[in-house]
Amino acid sequence: MTAELSAPRRWDPIVKLTHWGIVVAIILNAIVTEEGSGWHVRVGYGLAALLGLRLLWGIVGPHEARFTAFPPSPFRAIGHIREIGQGQVTHHRSHNPLGALMVYAIWACLAAIIASGIAMAGAPPSDPFAASHEEAEEHAVASPATSDDEDEDEREEEGGAGEEMMEEIHEIGVNLLYVLIALHLMGVVFETRRSGRQIVTAMLPWGNRRSR
Amino acid sequence: MNGNVTSNRMKGRDRQVTLVAAIAVVQAIAATFFVADAIGDVAADGLSTHIVIEGLIAFALFAGVALGVWQVRIMLRLAQRRDEALAIASGALAEHIGHRFSEWGLTDAESDVALFALKGCDVAEIARLRGAAAGTVRAQLSRIYAKAGVTGQAGLVSLFFEDLLG
Ligand code: HEM
């Protein structure tokens, strides 16, 4: 018990780099890049790569970073809430059960945003300053449909409806993500007050990971 | 007090792992862009011999990511193992020291002082650290040396050094 208490929590560099990379990408696409612009798409692809790497790390990484270290378990999350109610503090090597649910929710949300974004924009533009990528893409998407002249109209209709649905998913996903981020930050602040600053320093790039 | 050298070396090791990890991250981003671009090419122009080359490059890029990630994993595991070995060794040494102290019949206060002496503190430092008068510390030290059967601080240290060397 004491050993577990005194063992400092620390996140490995892959977790840190992907976390802060994802944070930067979200901020860029939320307020810097123009919606649907070349840079927006590029940043989105960068985000996809970071998320992909983190998910790979969840399988092959060190114990604390693996999915098995923080399974999505509502039961354990309820147990954790009960602990909070009783004022007990257990130190976890990985995410606490409540935080784990949040992490999976954020990842799922990001995956939906990325998937719908790629469905709309297609491949990353080679020239990010090109005026509108959408037009070129519409061509590429439409061409297989037009080659099939029988149900051409129907397909185009479908494509249009699909596009609209993707846009819808993208937007809802983003709004949901903002809510999750707000909850995440509240969670971090709350756990920090409950269990100490170590929670945050373990994730900071310059966090003193090995000092005891 | 416990060796800035060790903590510096650890920081250097951390930096090294971070560097390899950062390269893996950049590789992952590059690979993703490349593959997405290649898929876009295929969707636009259909299959061509060009795609064979792109496929090879994509394979190389992802192999690079996999190797980078694997390397990070190995470095982290080695660092962890060294940390553990060090913890076990220092834990064992601390236990051994405590054992000796009680063998000699040191009081709690004397044990404290003896530990500081082992760590290389002089009388003034020990007095400051314990909030005691220098005279008290000097008296405690001479009792410690007498109980241990040595004549001074160097003798005390060398006793444990001998134990370590076997
Ligand atoms: C765009 C905003 C953010 C998003 C999408 C986000 C997302 C995430 C995700 C997915 C994780 C899990 C990390 C992993 O296992 O790979 C995480 C953990 C963490 N994040 Fe964030 N984060 C954001 C902003 C922040 C900020 C601004 C802070 C600074 C206070 C922060 C502090 C933390 C901490 C301390 C953890 C570790 C939680 C734990 O100990 O269980 N995050 N975040």
B63 vs A207 pLDDT, higher one: B63
Contact across the interface for A53 and B18, Cβ inside 8 Å: no
**Residue A111 belongs to a domain:** yes
A155 vs A49 pLDDT, higher one: A49
Q: Closest approach of chain B CAs to the CA of A101, in angstroms?
A: 25
Nearest CB to B40 within list A21, A53, A123 = A123
Interface check for A72 against chain B (CB to CB < 8 A): the answer is: no
Q: Which residues contact A74 (CB under 8 A, 6 or more apart)?
A: A101
Kindly indicate the confidence band of residue A91, based on its pLDDT and cuts at 50, 70 and 90: confident
pLDDT at A147 over 50: no
pLDDT in tens, A31-47: 998 888 889 999 999 99
Q: How far is CA B166 from CA B89, B95, B113, in A?
A: 14, 16, 25
Interface check for A6 against chain B (CB to CB < 8 A): the answer is: no
Closest CA to B62 of B29, B16, B18: B29
Task: Provide the number of structural domains found in chain A.
Answer: 1
Closest CA to A42 of A156, A116, A122, A148: A122
Biggest alpha carbon–alpha carbon distance for chain B: 91
- Report whether residue A203 contacts ligand 1, using a CB cutoff of 6 Å: yes
Q: How far is CA B125 from CA A62, A169, B157, B163, in A?
A: 42, 67, 17, 26
Average pLDDT value over all residues in chain A: 80
Which of A18-27, A30-39, A46-55, B70-79 shows the lowest per-residue confidence on average (mean pLDDT)? A30-39
pLDDT at B9 over 80: no
What integer pLDDT is reported at residue A128 of this predicted model? 53
pLDDT in tens, A50-62: 999 999 999 999 9
Closest CA to A94 of A72, A63, A73: A63
Q: Which residues contact B123 (CB under 8 A, 6 or more apart)?
A: B134, B137, B138, B141
Q: What residues of A are in contact with residue B29 (Cβ under 8 Å)?
A: 45-46, 49-50
Kindly indicate the confidence band of residue B10, based on its pLDDT and cuts at 50, 70 and 90: low
CA of A178 to the centre of ligand 1 (A): 13
Contact across the interface for A52 and B28, Cβ inside 8 Å: yes
**CATH code linked to domain B105-166:** 1.10.10.10
Interface check for A128 against chain B (CB to CB < 8 A): the answer is: no
Kindly indicate the confidence band of residue B133, based on its pLDDT and cuts at 50, 70 and 90: very high
Residue of minimum CA distance from atom 31 in ligand 1: A185
Q: How far is CA A151 from CA A104, A158, B12, in A?
A: 41, 11, 64
pLDDT at B152 over 80: yes
Q: What residues of B are in contact with residue A56 (Cβ under 8 Å)?
A: 69
Look up residue A83 and give its two tokens: 């602990």
* CATH number assigned to the domain comprising residue A28: 1.20.950
What integer pLDDT is reported at residue A93 of this predicted model? 83
Closest CA to A44 of A183, A173, A179, A206: A173
pLDDT in tens, B94-112: 888 988 998 899 999 999 9
Return the beta strands (E) in chain B as ranges: none
Q: Which residues contact B52 (CB under 8 A, 6 or more apart)?
A: none
Mean pLDDT of A123-152: 50
- Report whether residue A125 contacts ligand 1, using a CB cutoff of 6 Å: no
Distance, CA of A62 to CA of A60 (rounded, Å): 7
What integer pLDDT is reported at residue B8 of this predicted model? 62
Distance, CA of B5 to CA of B10 (rounded, Å): 9
pLDDT at A135 over 60: no
Kindly indicate the confidence band of residue A8, based on its pLDDT and cuts at 50, 70 and 90: low
What integer pLDDT is reported at residue A164 of this predicted model? 85
**Whole-structure pTM value:** 0.74
Angle at B36 between CA B33 and CA B42, to 5 degrees: 140
**Residue A57 belongs to a domain:** yes
CA of A128 to the centre of ligand 1 (A): 29
Name the residue range of residue A47's domain: 2-133+146-203
Q: Percentage of residues in chain A with pLDDT exceeding 90?
A: 47
Mean pLDDT of B89-98: 86
